[in-house]
Amino acid sequence: MSDEELIAAAGRWIAQDPDEETRAELEALVDAARDGDESALADLHDRFDTRLTFGTAGLRGALGGGSNRMNRVVVAQTTAGLARFLLAREATPSVVIGYDGRKNSDVFARDVAEILTGAGVRAVLLPRLLPTPVLAFAVRHLDVSAGVMVTASHNPAQDNGYKLYLGGDSAGSQIVPPADREVLGAIEDILAEGPADALPRSANYATADESVVDAYVEATAARRAPAAELTWVYTPMHGVGWDTAARVFERAGIPAPHTVDAQLQPDGTFPTVAFPNPEEAGALDLALSTADQAGADVVVANDPDADRLAAAVRRPDGNWRTLSGNDLGLLLGWAAAERAQRDGFSGTLAASLVSTPGLQRIAEHYGLGYAETLTGFKWISRVPGLLFGFEEALGFLVDPEKVRDKDGISAAVALLDQLLSLSARGSTLDEHQREFDATFGCFTSAQISLRVTRLEEIGAAMAKLRSAPPQEIGGIAVERLDDLAHGGALPPSDVLRFQLAEGARLIARPSGTEPKLKLYLDVAARTGSVEERRARAADVLARLTAGARDLIS
């Protein structure tokens, strides 16, 4: 839009914004832009030239005024569109709403409840700030039409978001096409009809009692852990996981952890970490330090909304090994396959296409089905006959009958159960890993992210890879390029998959939640002794990593 149209659009936004902070923020920018401040004008264009839309994890963005930010106006308009979508599907729809400890999460959640109720949709607000898995559980437990979780998960402190789940045939999974397009269409109709402050509201929504949380705790702790010694550390990384996780651990018979007290209570400013994402370098430093002081051998971390799990284990030499999402996925997937065989179950293991191919090898070994999906648990959770699903970004679905989304607390219980079982029989995770590598092969992986300031840089990088694809990467020949933009077995997606010699693979895709281009590197070595497999995999991964860095430099 032109500068004049931009100033007018900002003025209309200010007039409908119920939030004093974002109104003042925009008024200051408008005044500065009118005085000729180019940076203020550029900021306004960034806020108003486009609008936040549903992506891999729903609606997510930086807090602030404008259509391209997370704020009370965007939340109200989105919710009014959701209400219209639901009312077109059923006569008496219902929605459960949850929220975490980020700035404005509680405010946005109440806005959602009031707008839904004002539109004639039955709304139920969870009793307090809670983990995302509790909300995902509540969609099925309360048998509602949809669920909304106000969270930005592991994003930087300045972000917030809006995750949408559907009940009914979707059974509590996150929204997927064509429903997402239908919701967006309803939102666009709402935008055309008038300002957000004209939307009807009502405070006559219901608030759930603690029985919802109690039911989640009971279901998550249903499998009792074996009696064994384990000294371990837990951190919720300034998020909302501790209260619920502590109850689950106690109920499951897991020894009480040492805690990272500086990170134990919810704090939306995340003061002790640069990014509240356990994947980021340094994010576990405080937990590892606590573990050293406590003489612990294991560190377990949830991200701020407790839907992801990170872990580190002490090596025999005393140093720490941080388990990647692929490491954890293979350990938990192996346990799920063994349990299915022991209990006589059949079913399917599933992973996102950017996750290690090792899970497919496990499925083949145990005669189970295997499914590869697009990234995001909205796809993994919908796999028929799912026994276990994961994606390398520390997301794990260990109990599909309870929650149809990744669940960091359930995954923590599954991991701790495995570690306690090993301890009870006098074994270690290192020995367990050796057995895995001997049985299935050595699977190693790495990830390279290119963080950008302008999203068009990602598009340019993907376009370059498509127009001039490499013939080799790190001296390893490219044998095939799969461009998933053209579809095939999976829906079309902006993903390039390079199959290379020597058991190597490289996948390039834009992040669905952050301004990043991501490269996923995987190597499999399945011949020779365990030592030979590990050495070969490490050598190939090192060469592939060096070549991948050159590819995007």
pLDDT score of 113: 98
The whole-number average pLDDT for the span 423-430 is: 94
H/E element holding 507?
strand 504-510
pLDDT score of 56: 56
Q: What is the Cα gyration radius of the chain?
A: 24
Could you give the maximum distance between any two Cα atoms of the chain, in Å? 74
Minimum mean pLDDT among 138-142, 273-277, 331-335: which range? 273-277
Which residues make up the CATH 3.40.120.10 domain(s) of the chain? 50-209, 228-428
SS3 readout for 90-120 = CCCCEEEEEECCCCCHHHHHHHHHHHHHHCC
Q: Does domain 50-209 have CATH number 3.40.120.10?
A: yes
Average of per-residue pLDDT across 245-252: 97
* Given 105, 153, 170, 410, the catalytic residue: 153
Contact 63, 75 (CB under 8 A): no
Report the distance separating Cα 243 and Cα 259, nearest Å.
12
For residues 116 and 128, is the Cβ–Cβ distance under 8 A? no
Confidence of residue 226 (pLDDT cuts 50, 70, 90): confident
pLDDT tens figures, 427-475: 999 999 999 999 999 999 999 988 888 878 898 899 999 999 999 999 9
Mean pLDDT of 77-84: 97
Query: Could you tell me the strand order of the sheet in which 298-302 lies?
Result: 258-259, 232-235, 298-302, 309-314, 320-323
pLDDT at position 129 is 97
Exposure b/e, 178-211, CB count within 10 A at least 16 = b: ebbebbbebbeebeeeeebeebebeeebeebeee
Query: Is position 153 annotated as part of the catalytic site?
Result: yes
Number of neighbours of residue 244 by Cβ within 10 angstroms = 21
Whole-angstrom distance, CA of residue 132 vs CA of residue 377: 13
Q: How does pLDDT run across 318-344, given as a tens digit for each residue?
A: 999 999 999 999 999 999 999 999 999
Query: To which H or E segment does residue 355 belong?
Result: none
Q: What pLDDT does residue 513 have?
A: 65
Say if residue 15 is exposed, middle or buried (CB neighbours under 10 Å; 0-12, 13-18, 19+).
exposed
pLDDT band for 404, please (50, 70, 90 cuts).
very high
* Tokens 């007039």 -> residue: 15
pLDDT over 90 for what percent of the chain?
A: 89
Helices 179-193 and 72-89, axial angle in degrees (round to 10):
120
Token pair 């356990």 in the structure block, residue:
278
Q: What pTM did the predictor assign?
A: 0.94
Q: How far apart are the C-alpha atoms of 470 and 55, rounded to whole Å?
A: 29
Decide if domain 228-428 falls under CATH 2.60.40.10: no
CATH code, residues 441-552 = 3.30.310.50
pLDDT tier for residue 491 given thresholds of 50, 70 and 90: confident
DSSP assigned state of 427: -
Strands 173-174 and 386-391: unpaired
Decide if pLDDT at 552 tops 90: no
Instruction: Characterize the bridge pairing of strands 320-323 and 348-352.
Output: unpaired
Cβ atoms 397, 388 nearer than 8 A: yes
Start-end of H helices in 234-385 = 242-251, 285-294, 325-343, 358-365, 377-380
Q: What are the phi and psi torsion angles at 401 (to 5°)? A: -75, -15
Q: CA 326 to CA 394: how far, in whole Å?
A: 8
More confident residue, 317 or 511: 317
Which residues in the chain are classed under CATH 3.30.310.50? 441-552
pLDDT band for 223, please (50, 70, 90 cuts): confident
DSSP secondary structure of 380-401: HTTSTTEEEEEETTTEEE--TT
Measuring CA to CA, which residue among 268, 214, 270, 276 is closest to residue 243?
Answer: 214
- Average pLDDT (180-188) is 92
Region 113-142 average pLDDT: 98
Residue-averaged pLDDT of the chain = 95
The pLDDT assigned to 553 comes to 79
Tell me the pLDDT band of 55, cut-offs 50, 70 and 90.
Answer: low
Task: Estimate to the nearest angstrom the gap between the alpha carbon of 202 and the chain centroid.
Answer: 32
Predicted local distance difference test score (pLDDT) of residue 406: 97
* Residue 519 β-bridge partners: 448, 508
Contacts of 29 (CB under 8 A, 6+ apart): 10, 40, 43, 44, 47
Higher pLDDT, 100 or 52: 100
- State the pLDDT confidence band at 549, using cuts at 50, 70 and 90: very high
Question: Strand, helix or coil at 121?
Answer: coil
Phi, psi angle pair for 195, to nearest 5°: -75, 160
Contact 464, 449 (CB under 8 A): no
Span 402-430, mean pLDDT?
96
441 near 358, Cβ under 8 Å? Answer: yes
How many other C-beta atoms lie within 10 A of the C-beta of residue 423?
17
Residue 209 has pLDDT above 60, yes or no: yes
Structure tokens at 342: 């022991």
